[in-house]
Amino acid sequence: MPLKDYVCKKTVAIYYRQGGKLEDTKLEDFAGKAIVLFKNYSYPGLKIDSGTMVSSSKAFINYRREYAATNDLDGLLVAQQAFFKGLQGDVKDNDLIRLDWQLTETGSEAAMICNEVQSEEANPLADGALLLTNVIKHHKSIIDLSLIGNRYLVPKVMEWIADGTIDKENKPNILYVDVAGNWITDFCIDLNNMPLYNK
């Protein structure tokens, strides 16, 4: 089936760049429009641009991030701090910097937590064994891990801004968390009002 047959027939305003740097594009240019990106491919005739998640590319948007893949808070902090320090002097014109603030479960932890429900046969012995195993091993759900990690996001980001780990060049454009409330929106607004985010 041709690609054009997959495109939505409803009229949608699409933003398609006409050259220039991503950082020079004003928010008002995007307002009310969709940005359609395909990973590693672009179709100019259909106003579809390309997006990537690599260290360097010529795509319209290239996401830079470091996923810590750990359930250990210290491991997350070390990975994120090293990521921002490594970006210094290496941010390209089309890069969007994503702060990945996600603690995640180990494979065995995820399997046990996901199974911590009443079994289909309502077997109190099996259900009790799963519950006891999770308690003894201190297994945590994604929600529990997020609530732990989220307590450190604002103070750590502010510390990294103060000590120069995060600067005007490598500042995060996206804050990526698993579980959040209104506080994350408030923090984004606060960051946008800082000199760091203003030219």
Confidence at residue 80, expressed as pLDDT on a 0 to 100 scale: 96
Tokens matching residue 175: 């804050």
- Separation CA 157–CA 90 (nearest Å): 20
Confidence at residue 146, expressed as pLDDT on a 0 to 100 scale: 84
Q: How many domains is the chain built from?
A: 1
Residue 110 counted as domain residue: no
Residue 26 counted as domain residue: yes
pTM of the model: 0.76
Residue 66 counted as domain residue: yes
Question: Per-residue b/e over 45-62, b at no fewer than 16 CB within 10 Å?
Answer: eebbbbbbeeeebebbbb
Q: Alpha helix locations (H) across the chain?
A: 27-30, 73-87, 107-114, 124-136, 142-162, 182-192
Confidence at residue 150, expressed as pLDDT on a 0 to 100 scale: 92
Range of the domain at 9: 3-105+140-197
Residue 121 counted as domain residue: no
Confidence at residue 181, expressed as pLDDT on a 0 to 100 scale: 87
The count of C-alpha atoms lying within 13 angstroms of the C-alpha of 123, restricted to the half-sphere facing its C-beta, is 10
Ranges of residues in the chain with a pLDDT under 50 are: 115-116
